[in-house]
Amino acid sequence: MKLRDIAGSTEHLTCGHRLCTGCAEPIIVRQVLHAAENPVVVANATGCLEVATTIYPYTAWKVPWIHSAFENTAATISGVESAYRALKRKGKIDKKINFIAFAGDGGTYDIGLQSLSGALERGHAFLYVCLDNEAYMNTGIQRSSSTPRGSWTTTTPVGEKLVGKPEYKKDITEIVAAHGIPYVAQTAPSHWMDLMTKVKKALKVEGPTFINVASPCPRGWRSEPEESMRLSRLAVETCYWPLYEIENGVWKINLKPKKKPIEEYLAPQKRFAHLLKPQNKHIVDDLQRRVDERWEVLQWKAEVSQQRSQQKQPPQTPASQT
Amino acid sequence: MALNGAEAIAEAMRQINPDVVASYPITPQTIIVERFSEFVADGLVDTEFVAAESEHSALSASIGAAAAGGRSMTATSSQGFALMWEMLYIAAAMRLPIVMAVANRALSGPINIHCDHSDSMGGRDSGWIQLYSENVQEAYDNTVLAVKIAERQNVRLPVMVCMDGFTTSHAVERVDVLDDDVVKKFVGEYHIDHPLLDVNQPVSYGPLALPEYYFELKMQQIDAMTNAKPVIEQVSRAYGSISGRSYGLVEPYNMEKAERAIVILGSTAGTAKSLLDDLNDPRLGLLKIRAFRPFPAAEIAANLRKCKAVAVLDRAASYGSIGGPVFSEVRAALYDESKRPQIVSYIYGLGGRDTTTDMLKTVYDDLDTIAKTGKPDPVQRFLGLRED
C-alpha cells in the first residue's frame, strides 16, 4: 500500500460534509474506505458522523449507506448482511460485498453494546469500526463509559466535590475480544498505515471483526483543530492508546513506543486542564499507574498468546463440548 | 389442515419463503419462530434466519434486510412489541415493506401473558398498516395478503398482522391452506427500486432531515397510508379469486336492518357472531374492523349510520381518555353524519379476561336501554370487570 496510490484512488466520503474542523472522524472514514477493495455497504449509528454527512437532500457518501437509530448499527448491518447471504444463495446477486458499521463510543460502549454483542455472537460478516472520541460529542460533550477518569464533560463537570469523571474508561476492545471473534484491533488515524493494514486484514475475514479507533475531537477535548493528529500520535506514544491486534486469539502489539509520560497527552487538552493543578496530581498519577499496568498486561498477553499459538498441540477440547 | 394461529402464520411464511426472518422469542408469539426455525433447519425455506438478541435488534435487522433488497419478516408480542417501538417508526419512515405477525398480549405491569390489544394499539400511530384477525384462517390469509399490500409501489409500508394471543395463536382450528405454488405466484418476487446492495447506484437510507424537508417526508407517509385503503381492497379481491375468501376493510355481520350494533376487533367478533346466530334478531348487528390502519372511517360510518345505538368494544385502555382507542375513532368517524347513533365505549378482556356470549348479550341489552332513553350515560363502561 503506497501513499501515492491511495492519494489517487476514489474518495468514498466526499468533501462538503459538515463535520467540525479538525474532527478525526472523516479522516478515519476515508482511511477505512480507501483500504476497502470490494464494494462496501456502510451502516452508521446516530451521531456526529451520521448527522453531518447526510443532511437531506445531500449526502457525502458515495457508497450505499444506512442509518436507522443510535443503538442498533450492528443489528442493522446484520440484517443487510443476512439479506446479502440470502440473495447470494438464491443466485440474485453475485458480487463480493464488504459490510462496514461506523459508530461512536456512545453507540458502542453504552447504548449499542447489546446489539453489537448480539451481532458478534451470531457471527455476521462485517467490520465494526468504533470512532472513539470518549464522550457524547454530538449532544454536547456528555460523559460516556469511554470517557477517561478525571476528564471534564458537561455531565462530569469540575466542581468542589467532583473533579471530572470519577470512573475509569471501559475497555471495549477487551470486551469485544472476549466474544472470541476472529479479528479485533485498536488503532489511531495518526498511524494511517497501521489503520489501513488492519482494515484490509479485517475485511479478508469471513466473520465479525472490530477495530477501535482513537478519534480526537477538538470541540469535546477542548483542543486546537490542527492538533488532532498530534494528539492521536501522543495517545499512542504515551501508551494511553496502544496499537495492537488480536488475530484468532493471538495478541500482537504493533508498535512499542518509547513510552512518554501521560502529561504530554493530557496537557494540550483543556478537558484535562484541571488535572495539571498540584491538588489533582494524584489523579494524573493514578492515570499513569493505570496506563503502565495495562501496558504491562498487554505485553504479557501478547507474549503468552504467541507462545501458545506456536505450540504444535492445541489444548484438548473437553469431550462434553465436542 | 388443523393448525393453531401461530402455526398457520408460520405456514404462510414458509410458503412466502422470505429472504430474511429476524426475531426473538416471546410468549405467545414463540410458536411462530419455533415452527419457522424448523422449516429453516429442514431446508424447506432458503431464508436467512436471524435469531436476534432482542426484539429491538430483530426489527433493526428486518429494516437492514428490507433496505438491502430482501423480503423480510418478523414476529412479536407485548413487551417485545414495546421494545420495538422506536424502530416501528423508522421502518415506516424508510417505507420498508416488512411484514410482522403480532400475537396480541397485555403489557406489563403487572406482567401478564394473555391477550389484549394494548401492545399493537400503542403502535397505531407508527405508520404501519394494521390488520386484525378474527381466527386462525384469517391469521393465515392476512399474512399472505400483507406481503402483497406492503410491497405495492404506491404503498410501500410495513404491515402488522395481529391475532389474539393464545385465543387465536394457540387455538387449533381447521384451516384452508393454499397450495405452495398458488401463494408463491400470488406474492410474486420482491422488488424495491433502490436497494442498498445495488452498489453501482449508491443510495443513503435514513439521513438527517431538518425543518426544510421533514414535514414533506411525513406527508409522503400520510399519502401512502391513504393509498393503502384501496390497495387493501384490491389485493383482498385478488385474493378472493384464488382462495374463495374475500375480505374488506370492515366486515358487517347481520347489519342490514340492525338498530343496535357492536364494533369490535379480533377474536371476540367470533363470539359475537355466535351470539347473533343464536338470537336470530335482525335488529342486532356486528361490525368487525379488519384494517384499523388505515382507518376505514367512511366504511364504518356507512355501516353504522342507520343504527340507534352502537357499542365500541376496546381490548385496550386509553388512560385519561373518554373511551378506548377504537371508540374515539369510531365516534369521530360518525361526527359528520347528519343523524348519529348513540355511542358507548366498553373496555373489555384486559389481560386475557374471558368474554362470553352472555356478556355480549348484556351489551345489546344496554344498547336497547340507551336507544330508548337516548342517553349513553356513562359513556365509558367496563365489561367483565369483577365487582368484589
State pLDDT tens for residues B194-205: 999 999 999 999
Phi then psi for residue A82, to 5 deg, are -65, -40
Cross-chain Cβ contact B60/A117 below 8 Å: no
Nearest to B65 among A64, A74, A82 (CB): A82
- Answer yes or no: are the C-beta atoms of B18 and B70 closer than 8 Å: yes
* Closest residue on chain B to A67 (Cα): B206
Q: Is B122 exposed, middle or buried (0-12, 13-18, 19+ CB in 10 A)?
A: middle
Is B72 in contact with B98 (CB distance < 8 Å)?
A: yes
Residue A322 pLDDT greater than 50, yes or no: no
pTM of the model: 0.97
Q: Which residue has the cell 479478508?
A: A204
Cβ atoms of B173 and B4 within 8 Å: the answer is: yes
Residue whose C-alpha is closest to residue A75's, from B251, B256, B52: B52
Mean pLDDT (whole number) for A134-155: 98
Q: Which sign, positive or negative, has the C-alpha torsion B139, B143, B149, B150?
A: positive
Spatial distance between the Cα atoms of B242 and B247, rounded to a whole number of angstroms: 13
Phi, then psi, of A55 in degrees rounded to 5: -80, 105
Residues A176 and A132: beta-carbon distance below 8 Å: no
Specify whether the CB–CB gap between B384 and B322 falls below 8 A.
no
Q: How confident is the model at residue A318 (pLDDT cuts 50, 70, 90)?
A: low
SS3 for chain B, per residue? CEEEHHHHHHHHHHHHCCCEEEECCCCCCHHHHHHHHHHHHCCCCCCEEEECCCHHHHHHHHHHHHHHCCCEEEEECHHHHHHHHHHHHHHHHCCCCCEEEEEECCCCCCCCCCCCCHHHHHCCCCCCEEEECCCHHHHHHHHHHHHHHHHCCCCCCCEEEEEECCCCCCCEEECCCCCHHHHHHHHCCCCCCCCCCCCCCCCEECCECCCCCHHHHHHHHHHHHHHHHHHHHHHHHHHHHHHCCCCCCEEEECCCCCCEEEEECCCHHHHHHHHHHHHCCCCEEEEEECEEECCCHHHHHHHHCCCCEEEEEECCCCCCCCCCHHHHHHHHHHCCCCCCCEEEEEEECHHHCCCCHHHHHHHHHHHHHHHHHCCCCCCEEEECCCCC
CB proximity list for B171: less than 8 A, separation 6 or greater: B4, B5, B136
Contacts of A86 in chain B (CB under 8 A): 19-20, 46-48, 65, 70
The verdict on B224 touching A (C-beta cutoff 8 Å) is no
Q: Give A55 to chain B, closest Cα distance, Å.
A: 5
CB contact under 8 A, A56 and B207: yes
Contacts of B348 (CB under 8 A, 6+ apart): B268, B313, B314, B315, B355, B359, B382, B383, B384
ipTM above 0.85 for this complex: yes
CA atoms within 13 A on the CB side of A38: 20
3-state secondary structure of A103: strand
Taking the C-alpha atoms of residue B366 and residue B376, their distance in angstroms, rounded to an integer, is 9
Is B63 in CB contact (< 8 Å) with chain A? Answer: yes
pLDDT in tens for each of the 388 residues of chain B?
Answer: 999 999 999 999 999 999 999 999 999 999 999 999 999 999 999 999 999 999 999 999 999 999 999 999 999 999 999 999 999 999 999 999 999 999 999 999 999 999 999 999 999 999 999 999 999 999 999 999 999 999 999 999 999 999 999 999 999 999 999 999 999 999 999 988 999 999 999 999 999 999 999 999 999 999 999 999 999 999 999 999 999 999 999 999 999 999 999 999 999 999 999 999 999 999 999 999 999 999 999 999 999 999 999 999 999 999 999 999 999 999 999 999 999 999 999 999 999 999 999 999 999 999 999 999 999 999 999 999 998 7
Interchain pair A86, B47: CB under 8 A: yes
Contact status of B51 with chain A (Cβ, < 8 Å): yes
In this complex, is the C-beta atom of B208 within 8 Å of any C-beta atom belonging to chain A? yes
State the nearest Cα–Cα gap between A7 and chain B, in angstroms: 22
**CB neighbours of residue B203 within 10 Å:** 17
What is the model's pLDDT at position A8? Answer: 86
**Chain A residues touching B94 at Cβ < 8 A:** 68
**Interface touch B196/A64, C-beta < 8 Å:** yes
Residue-averaged pLDDT of chain B: 97
Does the pLDDT of residue A317 top 70, yes or no? no
| Nearest residue in A to B201, CA atom | A64
Distance, in Å, from the CA atom of A178 to the CA atom of A174, rounded to the nearest integer, reads 6
Q: Which tens digits make up the pLDDT trace of B94-113? A: 999 999 999 999 999 999 99
Grid look-up 384501496 returns: B230
Distance from chain centroid for Cα A224: 22
pLDDT recorded at residue A3: 86
Q: Are A65 and B203 within 8 A, CB to CB?
A: yes
Cα B281 from Cα B302, distance rounded (Å): 21
